[in-house]
Amino acid sequence: MSTDSNDRKLMVLGWLFHLGGLITLVLGAFVYEFIVSGLITHQRGANEAEIEQLEALLETERDTGREYSRLQAELARLETSAEAARQRIPETPQESEFLAQISEAANEHGLAIQNFTRGSVTVLPTHSQLQIRLTGEGDYASICGFFERMGTFSRVATVSQMNLSAPENSEIYPLDMTLTLYFGAQAPQGGDRG
C-alpha cells in the first residue's frame, strides 16, 4: 500500500505541477495581454502622436523656410530699389543743373519761366531737401508737356505745392509751384541684419 499510496501521491503531485504550470501559463498570458500588450499599445500611441507632432513641425519648418526665402528675395529687391533711388539723389543740391533741365523742358514745350527762387534747405537723418519756387505761364498743352518731361528726369524731385490759375479771357495759365530737390542721401544707420 505504501507503493500505491506513493504512486498516488506522485500522481497527485504530478497533476498539481501540471495544474500549476497551466495556471502559470494562463496567468502569464493574462499578464502579457493586459500589461505588456497594454504598454506596447500605449507606447505605439505615444509614438504615433510624436510622429504627428514632428510631421507638423517639419511642415511648419518648410513653410518658415519658404517664407524666409521669399522675404530674403523681397529684401534684396527693396535694397536694390533703395540703392537705385540713392543713385538718383546727388551728394550736393546741384540746383543749377536741375534748373538748366527745367529751363530746357520749359523751352521745349513752350512754357515761359519767369522766376526761380531758391528756398530753404532741410537736413534730415536720411537726406537733405532744397525748396525751389518757380513761376511761369503757358497754355494747357505746354504745361502738360512740361510736367511729362519732368517725369523723365533722372534726379529725384517732387512738386510740393502748385497753384494754377485759369484766367477768364485767355488760354495762358499762370503757374506758381514749389519743387523739392533731394540730395545727400544716406543709408539708414543701425539695424544690422547679420
The pLDDT tens digits for 162-189 are 999 888 888 999 999 999 999 988 866 6
* Grid-cell match 504615433, residue found: 48
Give the integer Cα–Cα distance in Å for 112 and 175.
10
Q: Express each pLDDT in 121-130 by its tens digit.
A: 999 998 899 9
Which CATH number applies to 95-183?
Answer: 3.30.70.60
Query: Can you list the residues of the chain whose pLDDT is less than 50?
Result: 192, 194
High-pLDDT (> 90) share of the chain, %: 41
* Closest listed residue to residue 132, CA positions, set 91, 98, 103: 98
Report which DSSP code applies to 188: P
Q: Is 102 exposed, middle or buried (0-12, 13-18, 19+ CB in 10 A)?
A: buried
Strands (E), 12-155: 112-123, 128-138
Which pLDDT belongs to residue 15? Answer: 84
Tell me, yes or no, if the pTM score tops 0.85. no
